[in-house]
Structures are given as structure tokens and as C-alpha cells.
Amino acid sequence: MPVGRTQDERKAETRQRLLQAAVELIAERGVAGASVDALAEAADRTSGAVYAHFGGKEGLLVALLDEWKDALSVAVRAEFEAASDERERIGSLWQNFVSPPPGTGDAWTLLEHELWLYACRNPEVRPLLAARYDAARRAFGTALPAALDARESADVAGLLIALLLGLEMQRRLDPDAVSDETAIAALQALLRLPETAERV
């Protein structure tokens, strides 16, 4: 006789079903059009499950973004460790940002933009998103070139995120507007890295 699933396994399944429903529903309707009830229905769960697992719709969205961010971080970290110098690391950062690894597609950047707009229109959500950006700045700050001091790293990390998002937004609308070479050169300039290893 098969052994039934544990409570932890059922919780994990419900969590994943809600996350997947959020991906599909928000891609179709946007954040504002994806109510808690609609998200729960798409996952074949109750709205109470959304609140129990995530505290509400905003918590569900942030959890989804965090899962994608973690997947991206793993890919970027592996390539950072394999890169021979900081220029290669910047190139791998850009490639992973603009062409995320399989499994995330470009949905995570679209959701990031959707959540930013939602937070701008709903002041109660702003601290949640602001905390995510603060965590991202701190994470980037620790990975920036050693030539930058602690204060510079904190400032440059914010500029790095802004530059990545801005370049990605332009590239999404018009792929020819931002070439890989242009994006990488801009990131290198921000980080004060030479464009090539040797220049006469």
C-alpha cells in the first residue's frame, strides 16, 4: 500500500502550484489583473493558501522573483568562478541578465517591471520592493572589483542595477538599439575596467 505524502510535501506542492499559476496568470493579465482569487483558482487551491504561504499576492510575487533570482545567481556565480578576469565576468553578467538560463526565460524581467509599476501605484507595497533592491545592491556590492572601496561599492552597485535594467528595457523593445558590445562597454566603464586587456 503506497505511503501517503507528508504534510511538508503537500505544502511544497501547493507552494509550487501557486508560483506556477502566478507565472502564467501575470504573463496573461499583468499584476493588477491577477487577483488572489484568480491566482488560487489557477493553482486549484483556495485563496487561503495564498495567504498561508505568502501573506498575500505581493508576497507571492516577491517569492517568485526570488526563486528566479536565485536560479540566475547560481548560473552567474558558476561563470564568475570560471572567468579568467573581471572583463569576462562582466560579459557573463550581461549575457545571463539579458538572456536568462533555461527555466526562467524572460518572464522574470517582465515580472520585475510589473512589480515595480505595481509598487509605484500602491504605496503599501513599496517597502517590500525597496527591501529587494537593497538586498540586490548589497549582493552586487560584495562582487564588485576589489579596487572599489566599501562606499564606492555601495554607490556603484545601485548604478549597476539601474544600468542593467535600463539596457535590458531598451534591448527588449529594439534588439538593435543595444548590442552586446555596447552594453558590456557601458558596464566596464561604470566599473572603471579597460575595454580590452591590452591597448596600445
Written as tens digits, the pLDDT of the chain (200 aa) is: 345 678 888 999 999 999 988 888 887 788 888 899 999 999 999 999 999 999 998 888 888 877 777 766 676 677 767 777 877 888 888 888 887 766 555 667 777 788 888 889 889 888 888 888 888 888 777 766 665 666 677 788 889 889 999 999 999 899 899 999 999 999 989 887 655 544 33
Are residue 196 and residue 161 in the same domain, yes or no? yes
Are residue 27 and residue 75 in the same domain, yes or no? no
Q: Which of 74, 69, 80 is nearest to 144 (CA)?
A: 80
Count of domains in the chain? Answer: 2
3 phi and psi angles, rounded to 5 deg: -80, 135
CB 169 within 8 A of CB 135: no
Domain membership of residue 39 as a residue range: 1-55
Q: How far apart are CA 138 and CA 177, in angstroms?
A: 30
Are residue 43 and residue 74 in the same domain, yes or no? no
With a CB cutoff of 8 Å and minimum separation 6, the contacts of 159 are 190
| pLDDT score of 182 | 93
Q: How far apart are CA 92 and CA 88, in angstroms?
A: 6
